[in-house]
Copies of this chain bind each other. A is one copy, B any other.
Amino acid sequence: MSVSSALAYAVKHEPRFVDELKSLLRIPSVSTDPAYAGEVRRAAVWIADHLHEIGIDEVQIHATEGHPIVTAAHMHDAQRPTVLVYGHYDVQPPDPLDLWETPPFEPTERGGRLFARGASDDKGQLFMHAKAAESWLRTAGELPVNLKFLIEGEEESGSVHLRPFLEAHQERLAADVALISDTALFAEGLPSIGYGLRGMAYVEVILDGPNRDLHSGVYGGAVENPIHALTRLIAGLHDEQGRVTLSGFYDAVRDLDDEEREAFRSLPFDEAAWKRDIGISAARTEEGYSVLEATCGRPALDVNGIGGGYQGEGAKTVLPSRAGAKISVRLVPDQRPNEVAAMLRRYFTKETPPTMKLTFRDLHGGMPVLVDRSLPAMQAAFRALRDEFGRQPVFIREGGSIPVVADFQEVLGLDTVLMGFGLDSDAIHSPNEHFGLDRFCQGIASSIRFMKEFAATG
């Protein structure tokens, strides 16, 4: 089993790989829009057929109450470790259409980049692993690892049927590690491995005061205004150092270690460009932490929405009966969503004035993720990327959440290697989404190398 043969095969067949990817990209598998349900199903069938064609056996299309889930498995040697590749074949809606330079579902190459909806997110990245498997199978006749695929069609519409599917198919999905390419390089040309994701606790609070909107002239001065109470409570959630004031909030927070902080510092982060991009004059972080540390390695509480009283044009003199807010907390290990939601509940319950009725809703939560960078799979990914890019990869933490990663951990007991080849400039979810063909090839090669490296750790 020679890596170099597999790599050479991939180089040789690149034009065909790109053509095949274009076929997949031509299918408008927009999962949020019921009008595209047939196209979403067509994409599932295309992927299933393709995996079967390249020699992956046990391909199945599973119906759900929503869009189908495709699984595949190539289990040729029980002694070898098993990798579960996750990806999604559905895409974001292409609107606004008039801002696309070429039609979103007519893949077009320009300047070494392939423009199409889904080119980067996630058809292009998902397809790399299929092509890596093909490169091994066509040259060595077998794979260095056992390989499974789990490919869903609802990632862009909330993955609502995925977790029940994991719970129902634990044996079918059993593996040693999960591998996902659905994230971005930290910077162009800088190979990156994600090892941390923030979790989330999302709640809604509503304060009800008087039983109806009151005339502020007749009642103003004697009836506590729900907006006043709510703003006071929200203002009380942070102190002047930008820290969250909830009792016990930081008790479970695993602080960044020196090595991580050093790693954050050495990342090529241009804070001035970052500020310019979002149009702010200054960052505001928890005291003592840099922008990257604060967004990736520290918890953050944000009010995502607030509303109450009159919000139309002009003036209306109402003392409103109700005000409400949506509040989310991004969590880091070892915070737990239910515990943080409970802290919020206690705070609002305690601080709501006696003139108000509190409604507190725990909307949803997700566990934070931190994968041990010394795990064999992580080190295998490190070597694979290093050898492919010719430079040291960086381990990075992400500020957002990828729910499937926490689900893999909780339901399947699987750690995940996040080995993404996107760029923040790929315009995923926007017009003119694209994927660099150089990265497509690097991704295939990295996947080929990873299988070999991971097999060697088994």
Interface size class on chain A is 35 or more
A391 within 8 A of B: no
Q: Which of A119-127, A311-319, A447-455 contacts B (4 or more CB under 8 A)?
A: A311-319
A400 within 8 A of B: yes
Contacts A223-B278, A330-B216, A399-B217; A231 near B309 (Cβ below 8 A)? no
A8 within 8 A of B: no
Q: Which of A198-243 contact B (CB under 8 A)?
A: 198, 200, 202, 204, 209-212, 214-225, 227-228, 230-232, 234-238
Which A residues are within 8 Å of any B CB, using their own CB?
198, 200, 202, 204, 209-212, 214-225, 227-228, 230-232, 234-238, 278-286, 289, 291, 294-295, 298-311, 314-320, 323-326, 328, 330, 353-355, 363-364, 398-401
Bound form: Cα–Cα A315–B278 in Å: 23
Contacts A227-B306, A305-B320; A221 near B294 (Cβ below 8 A)? yes
Bound form: Cα–Cα A434–B153 in Å: 62
Please give, as numbers and ranges, the residues of chain B lying within 8 Å of A220 by CB-CB distance: 295, 300-302, 328, 330, 399
In angstroms, how far is the closest chain B Cβ from the Cβ of A271?
9
When the two chains form their complex, are residues B399 and A330 in contact, meaning their CB atoms are under 8 A apart?
no
Closest to A225 in B: B302
Bound form: Cα–Cα A231–B226 in Å: 12
In angstroms, how far is the closest chain B Cβ from the Cβ of A417?
20
Quick one: which of A228, A289, A320, A364 has the most chain B CB within 10 A? A228
In angstroms, how far is the closest chain B Cβ from the Cβ of A269?
11
In angstroms, how far is the closest chain B Cβ from the Cβ of A195?
16
When the two chains form their complex, are residues B401 and A363 in contact, meaning their CB atoms are under 8 A apart?
no
Please give, as numbers and ranges, the residues of chain B lying within 8 Å of A231 by CB-CB distance: 230-232, 234-235, 303, 306
Q: Which of B304, B354, B355 contacts A316 (CB 8 A)?
A: B304
Closest to A285 in B: B222
Closest to A353 in B: B284
When the two chains form their complex, are residues B311 and A214 in contact, meaning their CB atoms are under 8 A apart?
no
When the two chains form their complex, are residues A315 and B284 in contact, meaning their CB atoms are under 8 A apart?
no
Number of copies: 2
When the two chains form their complex, are residues A328 and B315 in contact, meaning their CB atoms are under 8 A apart?
yes
Please give, as numbers and ranges, the residues of chain B lying within 8 Å of A291 by CB-CB distance: 222
In angstroms, how far is the closest chain B Cβ from the Cβ of A434?
20
When the two chains form their complex, are residues B221 and A227 in contact, meaning their CB atoms are under 8 A apart?
no
Ranked 10 nearest A-B pairs via Cβ: A217-B400, A211-B279, A221-B300, A305-B309, A305-B310, A220-B300, A231-B231, A221-B294, A235-B235, A224-B284
Quick one: which of A231, A282, A301, A398 has the most chain B CB within 10 A? A231
Contacts A354-B282, A364-B315; A304 near B310 (Cβ below 8 A)? yes
Contacts A209-B280, A218-B399, A225-B302; A317 near B328 (Cβ below 8 A)? yes
Please give, as numbers and ranges, the residues of chain B lying within 8 Å of A218 by CB-CB distance: 295, 398-400
Please give, as numbers and ranges, the residues of chain B lying within 8 Å of A353 by CB-CB distance: 284
When the two chains form their complex, are residues B298 and A317 in contact, meaning their CB atoms are under 8 A apart?
no
Closest to A216 in B: B302
Please give, as numbers and ranges, the residues of chain B lying within 8 Å of A306 by CB-CB distance: 227, 231, 306-309, 311, 323
When the two chains form their complex, are residues A315 and B223 in contact, meaning their CB atoms are under 8 A apart?
no
Please give, as numbers and ranges, the residues of chain B lying within 8 Å of A279 by CB-CB distance: 210-212
Bound form: Cα–Cα A231–B305 in Å: 12
In angstroms, how far is the closest chain B Cβ from the Cβ of A344?
14
Closest to A429 in B: B215
Bound form: Cα–Cα A171–B202 in Å: 65
When the two chains form their complex, are residues A222 and B320 in contact, meaning their CB atoms are under 8 A apart?
no
Please give, as numbers and ranges, the residues of chain B lying within 8 Å of A311 by CB-CB distance: 305-307, 324, 326
When the two chains form their complex, are residues A314 and B363 in contact, meaning their CB atoms are under 8 A apart?
yes
Quick one: which of A232, A279, A302 has the most chain B CB within 10 A? A302
In angstroms, how far is the closest chain B Cβ from the Cβ of A214?
6
Bound form: Cα–Cα A220–B363 in Å: 19
Bound form: Cα–Cα A353–B242 in Å: 13
Please give, as numbers and ranges, the residues of chain B lying within 8 Å of A328 by CB-CB distance: 216, 220, 315, 317
Closest to A220 in B: B300
When the two chains form their complex, are residues B295 and A305 in contact, meaning their CB atoms are under 8 A apart?
no
Please give, as numbers and ranges, the residues of chain B lying within 8 Å of A235 by CB-CB distance: 228, 231-232, 234-236
Bound form: Cα–Cα A320–B278 in Å: 12
Other A-B pairs, 18, CB within 8 Å; known A227-B306, A304-B310, A311-B324: A200-B217, A209-B280, A217-B401, A220-B330, A220-B399, A221-B294, A221-B298, A223-B278, A223-B284, A224-B284, A228-B237, A231-B235, A235-B235, A281-B355, A304-B309, A306-B309, A307-B308, A315-B326
